[in-house]
């Protein structure tokens, strides 16, 4: 049985179109499937066995992670406003 992977961008897009609260944005975590894929890519990278396609995928995860961190920072700021 093939595992269907959702791109990291798609996972975040689906979350955002659900109109989450600021608290939900701060609490957002990638799915377990996504977390496992990142662990697998990082392990392959550490072992020097990451393919060019894997590097592109890992770079995509890093880009999405940066976006989500910035989103969470903005949500925290918004919550701290009087």
* CA pair distance 48, 55, nearest whole angstrom: 11
pLDDT digits (tens, 9 = 90+) for 11-68: 999 999 999 999 999 999 999 999 999 999 999 999 999 999 999 999 999 999 999 9
Whole-angstrom Cα distance, residue 12 to residue 24?
12
The string of DSSP letters for 5-59 reads: PPPHHHHHHHHHTT---HHHHHH----HHHHHHHHHHHHHHHTT---HHHHHHHH
> Mind listing the pLDDT tens digit for each residue in 9-24?
999 999 999 999 999 9
């Amino acid at each position: 049985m093939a595992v269907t992977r959702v791109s990291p961008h798609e996972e975040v897009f689906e979350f955002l179109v659900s109109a989450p609260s600021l608290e939900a944005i701060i609490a957002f975590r990638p799915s377990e499937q996504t977390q496992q894929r990142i662990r697998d890519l990082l392990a392959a990278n550490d072992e020097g066995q990451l393919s060019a396609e894997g590097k592109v995928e890992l770079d995509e995860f890093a880009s999405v992670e940066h976006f989500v961190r910035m989103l969470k920072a903005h949500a925290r700021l918004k919550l701290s406003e009087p």
